[in-house]
A and B are shown apart, each in its own frame.
Chain A
Amino acid sequence: MRVRRRSAIALLALAALAAAVAWAATELTPFGTPSGPADAVVRTLVHERHAANTVNGVTYDLRGLDTLGEELILFVAALGSAVLLRHGRGERDAGERAEARPSGRTADALRAAGAALVGPLVVLGVYVVVHGHLSPGGGFQGGVILAAGLLLVYAAGQVAMLERVEPRALVEVAEASGALAFALVAIGGLVFAGAALANFLPFGTTGNLLSAGTIPVLSVAVGVEVTGAVALILTELLDQTLLAGSA
């Protein structure tokens, strides 16, 4: 009864919201005719910052401070979910964990395909991260691709191998050092160029891999950070499901 009454109230409120949104939509600039200074931004970024991909030019240069904030959200969110998931992990001992490993259940074809794809996926991820200033991609996208490599290792049934390389310590270090590197580049701008996140590296030639000043450096920092953050979350979740299997 209470649920039905709540649904009715929600329906009324959302109908009002929908009407307000529709009304507001008619007042927005018509689709296809933006009012922002898009062309000026593109020209500035290409001529002054030598970034061919101006989206990443905006992300890592014009709105670099914004991205620093986003990166810290990412850092704290990954840390927070790891802490939440670890809470109460000490309930079972390591012996039970070893039994819980679902190593025998993965099909051979899946294991082979997973193992074969790890290499190409990591190469793709690194490519996407380091070419962020030239072509679509960058640290945010490439980082998730790299973290997916960890999933493939899991799909390949190599959990034992995963334990041996101690992924948890590795991803934690990656997450922290990515965030630290971004902050250091921001401070570097303050020291060498007079403002936080101001460019202090040579720009090079537009279109070259080593160009666009601090933009690719920040992209790599974000790539490391995102890899660490997503991998940390996935490791903790995988750990939880493997752990619980022992019950």
Chain B
Amino acid sequence: MTVLPYLVAGWLLVVGLWGVITSRQLVHQVVCLTVVQSSTYVLLLAVGYRTGGYAPIVSSSVPPSSPFVDPIVQALALTDVVVEATVVAVLLALTVQAHKRFGTADPDRLGELSG
């Protein structure tokens, strides 16, 4: 039972990669890649979680002496989520350009038409 979060992270990695490999449409492929990326968030946050720990935000009701979950992995995941969105933007812009140039969004047909 204590490995369930790690297995879910692994499942997202595997199923996302399956989508990337078998996808027939570039936009679909980009979204599958975001599933792969989300596996890293699940893994990072699962590694830092502590049973009964508080969110690492100190206030008058949560004194600094309480047990906390790990803030470092949260900081890593937090910046990553927003950076992921801009990486998706670059990939989508590339998709628009590829479609403009080759007239198709099917990754398998891009090479055939390049001549």
* Interface set of A (CB-CB < 8 Å, partner B): 3, 6-7, 10-11, 14, 17-18, 21-22, 24-26, 28-34, 36, 38-39, 41-43, 45-47, 52-59, 62-63, 66-67, 70, 73-74, 77-78, 80-82, 84-85, 87-88, 135-136, 138, 140-141, 143-144, 206-207, 226, 229-230, 233, 236-237, 240
Contact = CB atoms under 8 A, between A and B. Distances in A.
Contacts of B93: 80-82, 84-85, 236
23 contacts: A3-B108, A17-B14, A18-B14, A31-B46, A34-B49, A36-B70, A36-B73, A38-B70, A53-B57, A54-B71, A58-B74, A58-B75, A59-B75, A62-B72, A63-B76, A77-B83, A77-B89, A78-B89, A140-B81, A143-B82, A144-B82, A226-B82, A236-B93
Interface of B is mostly: helix
Contacts of A144: 82, 85
Contacts of B56: 38, 42, 53-55
A32 B21 contact: no
B58 A42 contact: yes
B112 to A, nearest CB: 12
B46 A55 contact: no
B48 A88 contact: no
A73 B98 CA distance: 23
A34 B75 CA distance: 16
B10 A21 contact: yes
A81 B89 contact: yes
B114 interface: no
Given A53-B57, A81-B93, A87-B97, A67 B18 contact: no
Given A41-B71, A52-B58, A77 B7 contact: no
B78 A59 contact: yes
A57 B71 contact: yes
Contacts of A36: 48, 70, 72-73
B67 interface: yes
Interface of B: 2-7, 10-11, 13-14, 17-18, 21-22, 46-51, 53, 55-59, 64, 67-76, 78-83, 85-87, 89-90, 92-94, 96-97, 100, 108
Contacts of A140: 78-79, 81-82
B3 A25 contact: yes
A218 B105 CA distance: 40
A28 B67 CA distance: 21
Contacts of B70: 34, 36, 38, 41
Contacts of B97: 84, 87
A1 B75 CA distance: 46
Contact of A28 (B6, B57, B94): B6
